[in-house]
Amino acid sequence: MTSVSPHKKARALKSTSRRPAKELCSECGLCDTYYIHYVKEACAFINQQIGELEEETHTRSRHLDNPDELYFGVHQDMMAARKQQPIEGAQWTGIVSSIAIEMLNRGIVEGVVCVQNTKEDRFQPMPVIARTPEEILAARVNKPTLSPNLSVLEQIEKSGMKRLLVIGVGCQIQALRAVEKQLGLEKLYVLGTPCVDNVNRAGLQKFLETTSRSPDTVVHYEFMQDFRVHFKHEDGSSETVPFFGLKTNQLKDVFAPSCMSCFDYVNSLADLVVGYMGAPFGWQWIVVRNDTGKEMLDLVKDQLDTQPVMSKGNRKEAVQQSIPAYDKGVTLPMWAAKLMGVVIEKIGPKGLEYARFSIDSHFTRNYLYVKRNHPEKLEAHVPEFAKRIVGQYKLPE
């Protein structure tokens, strides 16, 4: 008689049911599957366990006294890179899609968990297990909305797949690592992106309507290293809005409560992370966390230009000043915002220092959010590395 795994007896929640993490749920997709059986241990918002999972995944947790590991997590290498021939329509140059395609073409994996969009709405996420390069390419570009990537996990076990690549953001990857051993895989590869300030679909609409000159034609946007939001429109035109000109007072409630309580900006548990914020403008930023991550990056190295990471400027003053400004919801007039954007771009933090600026600003904001809205969670939910980062600043009550 074959024994049935205990999780197979569990039932996925209905899409309308309240999730165990309640308002902090990031809709990672775990609870859409029978792996909900493990939710109390696995959910990033119920049981923060980055340190323990770092040890399981990378054989050690980050060295808190090493300044780069404190900020960027366990790693063996970091660099700036860009594809010599960018993939048209990718978020940046398409390094993520290229690695996934190579892994599939060379038979290293049988499938890739990634997220396409629905036919009706280019920003509505639709997680899939891609089995062809075309299906991976159809998932290129960010869906800047909460995405239930793990909702396809049941299909993996049923398909009998043994070698899998999962692409995802921090909260999805934390839950994935917590159930990894239950998936019946021989090898799991994890390609992560950093993630911050995500929104649900209605929140995205509000963000576009308050920020862009033409919300209905936006196909792509990014908060970039030059302190501006860059929008790309359907007709190929672009639009930039300085960070300091954002209507902070109207946008305060737009970000999902999960993202206001997240301290895993840099996707600590992925094997390889591909973002942009530690790299010069126009380049992507790569963090190789372990040997599996190196193996993945090596597959595309001959398609990339690379350069060492750099760091310039001092973020501390700008972060300290941004804390009360954000807290009070101050919005500058557009002329002042543009001027400030120009000045800060000239003298402001660059490369890794820009990444630290962004991490500090978000961690201080999120720490205050958790302290005010979920004080009972503060101690256990905020990882030690984040407490040290936040501890560098003076926070309002």
Give residues in contact with ligand FAD (CB under 6 A). Answer: 87, 90-97, 114-115, 125, 139-145, 147, 149, 167-169, 193-196, 198, 222, 274-277, 284-285
DSSP H or E segment with residue 218: strand 218-223
Task: Using CB under 6 A, pick the residue from 7, 10, 12, 20 that binds ligand SF4.
Answer: 20
Contact partner, 243, from ligand SF4, ligand FAD, none, Cβ < 5-8 Å per class: none
Contact partner, 39, from ligand SF4, ligand FAD, none, Cβ < 5-8 Å per class: ligand SF4
28-36, 134-142, 188-196, 265-273 -> range binding ligand SF4 (CB under 6 A): 28-36
Separation between Cα atoms, residue 297 and residue 275, nearest integer Å: 13
Residue nearer to ligand SF4 on the CB measure, 150 or 279: 150
Contact partner, 115, from ligand FAD, ligand SF4, none, Cβ < 5-8 Å per class: ligand FAD
Q: What is the DSSP letter of 301?
A: G
How many CA atoms, within 13 angstroms, populate the side-chain half-sphere of residue 367?
Answer: 24
Count each helix (H run) and each strand (E run) in the chain, helices first: 16, 13
Sign of CA dihedral 161, 165, 170, 174: positive
Tell me the Ramachandran region of residue 296: left when phi exceeds 0, alpha when psi lies from -120 to 50, beta otherwise.
alpha
For 52, list phi and psi in degrees, rounded to 5: -65, -45
Query: Can residue 58 be called a binding residue for ligand SF4 (CB under 6 A)?
Result: no
Query: Can residue 26 be called a binding residue for ligand SF4 (CB under 6 A)?
Result: yes
Shortest reach from residue 202's CB to ligand SF4, in Å:
17
End-to-end alpha carbon distance in the chain: 60
Q: Please, what is the angle between helix 95-105 and helix 291-298, to 10°?
A: 90
Task: Using CB under 6 A, pick the residue from 31, 109, 204, 300 that binds ligand SF4.
Answer: 31
Judged by CB under 6 A, the chain residues 113 through 172 that form the site for ligand SF4 are: 171
Residue nearer to ligand SF4 on the CB measure, 30 or 337: 30
Residues that bind ligand SF4 (CB under 6 A): 19-21, 25-28, 30-31, 39, 43, 45, 171, 175
